Amino acid sequence: MTKKKTLTILVNILFIFLALIIFLPMAWMLVNSLKTNQELFRNSLALPAVPQFINWVNAWNKGLYKYFGNSLIVSGCSLAGILILSSLLAYGLTRFNAKGSNVIFLIVLGGMALSEQVALVPLYKILKAIHVYNTYFAVILPYIAFRIPFTVFLMRSYFIAIPKELEEAAVVDGYNSLQIFQKIIVPISKPIFASCAIVCLNHVWNEFLFANVFLESKELMTIPIGLMTFKGDLRADYTVMLAGIIIASLPMIVLFLCMSKQFVRGLTAGAVKG
């Protein structure tokens, strides 16, 4: 056996091991979401005697549908703001030779070093002062602000590699900068938009800290906070909670499966071309 073939086998074994580390907890949650609480406590590794699909229905009816809707609103608005602002900023930094553009880029990247926990108290006071505390905007605005630096970093690397000859030809045809961005840059940048969308949406969908601090009303709670309400003061229905976690995870899993090719292409292109 050649050295190269041995290395390939070892790498494949490592990847299989890593895949199992990710898959086994998900399988455990799925199996136990179909049990009764008694079965869960008796043996959490055994298969359910009779699959309790009613747990999924109970989780949905217990209020998960409301939290799911709130998460869709918050995530959709946040993602739109992140992609629009980041793409415009990244395009401007790569195409307009303005003085101080490199300084602006460094300042934007500096946002990646700012911890969300450190900014918690100042953000709380700011949101109170502008009267958006305990509203959707109380989480949407911080989500947009904290995800822009990383998104700009990825998009800038991708935009740099786009040939400027395409834009020069468009200028000859009478296009202005905004039209060039809309009709040329955006269509050929779908991979990086998909990559940024998945990364940012995964963060926003599962974010707990800001949602826990900035949202008080139960009517506005997102899924991570809403799932906490499944645990009562004296009793917790763990199988229903697990069912709720599975339902909450499905949108991100489906999204990644649908956009996995674009996701990989966008990240690899941005990393190499930058």
Q: What domains, with CATH codes, occur in the chain? A: 59-273 (1.10.3720.10)
CA gap 200, 76 in Å, rounded = 11
Among 145-149, 215-219, 257-261, name the one with the lowest average pLDDT. 257-261
pLDDT exceeds 80 at position 234: no
Closest CA to 251 of 218, 214, 223: 223
Tokens at residue 50, please? Answer: 């009779």
Q: In this model, does residue 265 exceed pLDDT 80?
A: no
Which pLDDT does position 138 carry in this prediction? 94
Average pLDDT of the chain is 86
Which residue would you say has higher pLDDT here, 79 or 167? 79
For residue 83, give both structure tokens. Answer: 């992609």
pLDDT band with cut points at 50, 70 and 90 for residue 168: confident
CB atoms within 10 A of CB 114: 12
Which residues sit opposite 231 in a β-bridge? 236
pLDDT score recorded for residue 94: 87
Query: pLDDT-derived band of residue 233, with 50, 70 and 90 as boundaries?
Result: very low
Task: Tell me the percentage of the chain whose pLDDT exceeds 90.
Answer: 34
- Range among 121-130, 154-163, 221-230, 257-266 with highest mean pLDDT value: 121-130
Q: Give the whole-angstrom CA distance, residue 244 versus residue 239.
A: 9
Predicted confidence at residue 170, as pLDDT, reads 82
pLDDT band of residue 118 (cuts 50, 70, 90) is: confident
Amino acid at 269: A
**pLDDT exceeding 70 applies to what percent of the chain?**
93
Distance from C-alpha of 27 to C-alpha of 246, rounded to nearest angstrom:
10
Spatial separation of the C-alpha atoms in residues 171 and 167, rounded to whole Å: 6
Q: Which two tokens stand for residue 46?
A: 């055994």
Task: State the pLDDT confidence band at 235, using cuts at 50, 70 and 90.
Answer: low
Q: Is the dihedral of CA 246, 266, 117, 218 positive or negative?
A: negative
pLDDT band at 274 (very low <50, low <70, confident <90, very high): very low
Q: Is the pLDDT of residue 6 over 80?
A: yes
Closest CA to 108 of 135, 140, 78, 82: 82
Nearest partner of 162 among 143, 185, 131, judged by Cα: 185
Q: Please tell me the distance from the alpha carbon of residue 67 to that of residue 126, in angstroms, as a whole number.
A: 25
Closest CA to 162 of 201, 191, 140: 191
Task: Please tell me the number of Cα atoms within 13 Å of 249 on its side-chain side.
Answer: 12
Which of 119, 26, 77 shows the shortest CA–CA distance to 222? Answer: 77
Whether 159 contacts 196, CB under 8 Å: no
